[in-house]
Amino acid sequence: MLLTEQIDLKNKTKNLFEMKNSKKIIAVIGVLGVILIMLSEFIPQNKSNESSKANSITEYSDYKESLEKQLLGILSSIQGVGKCKVMITLEETQECVFAKNEKAQNSQNDNSSENEYVIIDNSGNETPVLIKEYFPKVLGVAIVCEGAENSLVCEEITNSVTALFDISSNRISVSKYESE
């Protein structure tokens, strides 16, 4: 029974390729394949450069917003501060340090070195190996609060901010909140 099924299947496939239309069908399939390959060139690929810039801006904004919220929480808990608003200015964006392979060649006449980033392959995506990531430093802080007329409150605010962000007191501005 099994042998007859195999012979029957062989005959059917042989008949399929012997038909006049089968050559046309194979030619049409081939042409469609070529057209699909050509069309794939016009389909936009993953725009990683633009998306990485957008991610960088988003991460920068998220980082700044997070710092401002945390600082607002700290300052609001200081007695006498009252209603408060905070704005932080940051130095540039974050900086990433990637792993490198360094090859140095020393000879009598020539000293040369060659640097190459270490790249790993994660399921088809090549990414560099990240060693360190530096977040932007705080350059200055502006604080507007209801308790700013009290010099002791201003001093406590200034001391808290200098301790948190390791910046000098001349980079901190504390002003009175204008009531509406």
pLDDT tens, position by position, 109-122: 777 777 777 777 77
Say which CATH topology domain 48-94+135-180 has: GMP Synthetase; Chain A, domain 3 (3.30.300)
Kindly give, in sequence order, each residue whose CB lies less than 8 Å from that of residue 98, ignoring residues fewer than 6 positions away.
117, 118, 128, 129, 130, 131
DSSP 124: T
Q: Which residues have CB under 8 Å from 124's CB, separation 6+?
A: none
Q: Is 173 buried (19+), middle (13-18) or exposed (0-12) by CB count in 10 A?
A: middle
Reported pTM: 0.55
Helix axes 20-40, 2-18, angle to 10 degrees: 80
Q: Is residue 19 predicted with pLDDT exceeding 80?
A: no
Q: For 108-112, 125-129, 170-174, which range has the lowest pLDDT when averaged over its residues?
A: 108-112
